[in-house]
Amino acid sequence: MNKKLTGKAGLVTGGSRGIGAAIARSLAEDGADVAISYVSSPDKAKALVRELQEKGVRAVAFQADQARTDEVANLVRKVAEHFGHLDILVNNAGVFITGPVGEVKEADVDRQFAINVGGVNAAVREAAKIMTEGGRIISIGSMGGTSSPWPGISDYSATKAAVAAYTRGWARDLGPKGITVNVIEPGPIDTDMNPADGNFATLQKAGTALGRYGRPEEVAATVAFLASKNAGFITGASIAVDGGYNA
């Protein structure tokens, strides 16, 4: 029986673990062929590819440094060549570097912008050359792109705000081609990078209206919806999946 993404091919950057892996699983469960990218975790990437293939779809992993625009552009091209087309791009790869203004190393500021903004930009520019009508571009932003709820996240917030601004502009640019562009802004999500039992978990839980962390699968479900035909009239949107943190 056909599923809602049968016949589609998607790329999830940074898809070997955490939210990215949950997104890859969700797309595959809905019938899409899925490529993931990774930087330094080939074993996890290979294991996830096998898991996705067991769902009855084609799956592949490519190594690419999100900070290198040439590698990101080549990644998009390789995925399109591998599957014969590219219908869904999920910009998930990102880093979270914190510190008060003036105390973060310049190299860390540059790398965070290179990955969180430059890598996303490179992927979208290349995908825009390949995608046809019905294409879906979905970026994983952050509640920090809308607000800065605690000190030390100004650089990170700026990168995610840039992605949200790009999303609105790209939606205008690509709308005539029938391609939608949206950004999801998660709140605290239980991952290796930000575990629900971590040092700052109590503070983050208290900031949500629901009083808990979100699950990667809850972000993934929103991605799968935006990738579907049912979301065809949603574009240029910033969608909060934050438990009410920014309510």
Catalytic residues: 156
Integer Cα distance of 187 and 246 in angstroms = 8
Judge whether 235 and 35 are in contact, CB under 8 Å.
Answer: no
Alpha helices for 100-215 (secondary structure H): 106-113, 120-130, 154-174, 201-207
The beta strands (E) that lie in 59-106 are given as 59-63, 88-91
Q: What is the DSSP letter of 5?
A: T
Strand partners, 220: none
| Eight-class DSSP state of 67 | T
Helix pair 42-53, 18-29: axis angle to 10 deg: 20
CA 142, CA 191: separation in Å to the nearest integer?
14
Q: Tell me the C-alpha distance between 86 and 128, whole Å.
A: 10
Instruction: Determine phi and psi for 214, rounding to 5 degrees.
Output: -85, 165
Residue that is written with structure tokens 């029938």 in the block: 178
Phi, psi of 83 (to 5 degrees): -95, -15
CA dihedral angle for residue 189, residue 191, residue 192, residue 197, rounded to 10 degrees: 60
Q: Is 72 helix (H, G, I), strand (E, B) or coil?
A: helix
